[in-house]
Structure 1
Amino acid sequence: MKLRKLEMELEKVEGFAAPSPALEQYKTPATLAASFLHLAFMSGDIEDQTVYDFGCGTGILSVGAALLGARKVVGFDIDESAVAVAEKNAEAMGVSDRVSFIQCNISDVSEQILSEKLGRADTVVMNPPFGAQEKGNDRPFLASAIQAADVVYSIHNKGSRAFIEKFIKPATITDCFKTEFPIRKTFDFHRKEIETIDVEIYRIETSGIGPD
């Protein structure tokens, strides 16, 4: 599927009905989600792969991975209502046969993967919290991701590379792509209709790190 077609399809994905500021629930824009997934697809990390989506929200990355030919996709999110919308989106987009969702805290993902006998994924895709409400909110996502898959794609604030490289050792960053994240006015404390922030997409190879 071409990039523009993927973007058009992801525009149809329903967002949060009642987003939580504490969970930093912003719908990933279709343009960014499509570009993010297409990068992974062009690197051979989506098609015919098992893909996990951490902090999946309403499932835009999960659905997109399936549309790009992932063999199996599992999304994980703490918010039960978001998972319900994600399941609805997968059904509406015709990918529910290859996409499923699990409601759990990110710190419990490894236990869920083992208990559900899901096994290690080929790729994790995720748009974790940036830490706007509480610094360090992205750390549990990174820690779980490098335990769960061979390759990780993750979106972070611009300038995060030094921290991420130190945090994920012995896993390594192989690529870094700079882009923009337009955030629409979602909460009362937002002043602008659209706030655009600079972000970086990291591709991480985990060197076979796995659950203890």
Structure 2
Amino acid sequence: TPPSLAAEILYMALLMGDIEERMVADLGCGTGTFALGASLMGAKEAIGIDIDPKAIVTSWRNADLLGLDNVRFYVADILEFNERVDVVFQNPPFGVQRRHADVPFLEKALSTSNVVYTIHKRGNEDFITDLAHKYGGRATNIIGGTIKIPKIFEFHKKKWKMVEVSIFRFVREVN
């Protein structure tokens, strides 16, 4: 997640009362941008989960450099994460190469937390809101943004690609 977009999302979450003294998870955390940012902004604890061991090593280094002791990072598939948290942040795969690759992320997020901030490729808003609704999620905010994606995978054709995204804040209705 680009730092400027992550900062915008984290600031929105702070204003909504979703960070301070909250237990936060960053699913598919990469280098820990959301977990580290939430920690710096007053989260009670932040947890980052990613399947890439190198990304988790970088996350731990970043936490150490920032002097943060209220963050934890784990190498794991997000489907293995079963802790209840107050808020989930995530920038899942968009499902372009593997159709609906973002679905397990949203399902896990809404089964783990009552508040979810999630980034998806623009144009899929109806699909994403319908899916969230199946799990009791209601979109309270949807904002637009742009992500500059570097060529990091073999299937990427261009050096950089600008992708229009929608950032959702879902609240899960609790019965």
The alignment partner of 1:121 has SS state of coil
Out of 125, 136, 139, the residue aligned to residue 100 of structure 2 is 136
Q: Equivalent residues in 2 for 1:48-63 (5 A)?
A: 48-63=21-36
Paired residues, number: 173
Q: 3-state SS of the aligned residue for 1:135?
A: coil
SS at the partner of 1:56?
Answer: coil
Structure 2 partner of 1:201? 167
- Does residue 183 (structure 1) correspond to residue 156 (structure 2)? The answer is no
For 1:75 and 1:63, locate their aligned partners in 2 and report how far apart those are by CA, in whole Å: 9
User: In the alignment, does 2:12 pair up with 1:39?
Assistant: yes
The amino acid of 1:162's aligned partner reads D
C-alpha separation between the residues in 1 aligned to 2:170 and 2:39? 21
Percent identical residues: 39
Match runs of 1:1-212 below 5 Å: 28-95=1-68, 97-110=69-82, 113=83, 120-168=84-132, 169=134, 170-187=136-153, 189-208=155-174
Letter in 2 for 1:41: L
Give the Cα–Cα distance (whole angstroms) in 2 for the partners of residues 155 and 181 of structure 1: 10
Secondary structure at 1:134 match in 2: coil
Structure 2: state its 5+ residue gaps: none
Question: Is the alpha carbon distance of 1:135 and 1:175 closer, same or farther for their aligned partners in structure 2, counting shifts above 3 Å?
Answer: same
Please tell me the root mean square deviation across aligned C-alpha atoms, in Å.
1.5
Secondary structure, in 3 states, of the residue corresponding to 2:81?
helix
Distance apart, 1:33 and its partner CA: 1.1
SS of aligned partner of 1:44: coil
One-letter amino acid matched to 1:145: A
